Amino acid sequence: MLYPPQNELKDSINSKYLVVTTAAKRARELQEYPDSLLLDEYRSLKNVGQALEEIAAHKVIAKLED
């Protein structure tokens, strides 16, 4: 079972490609700055999983640049 479920991620960001890009970028931020956590508790121990949890919780918002 995947956590967070894909439908929760699609509620936050409606493009799966944008979800992947945003999660990768946020995971790199978490790797570089481990104290920048946005949630109190995480189910995942890995940065990518934590980034996906933050996206599902609407703590990370994707912003498109021109």
For the chain, the structural domain boundaries read: 6-56
Cis upstream peptide for 4 (omega within 30°)? yes
Q: How many CB atoms lie within 10 A of CB 16?
A: 11
Distance of CA 8 to the CA centre of its chain: 11
Residue 2: per-residue pLDDT = 67
Report the pLDDT value the prediction gives residue 40, as an integer from 0 to 100.
Answer: 94
Q: What is the mean predicted confidence (pLDDT) over 7-28?
A: 88
Check residue 41 and give its pLDDT.
95
- Interval 21-63: pLDDT, tens: 999 999 999 999 999 999 999 999 999 999 999 999 999 988 8
What's the pLDDT at 34?
92
pLDDT category of residue 66 using cuts at 50, 70 and 90: low
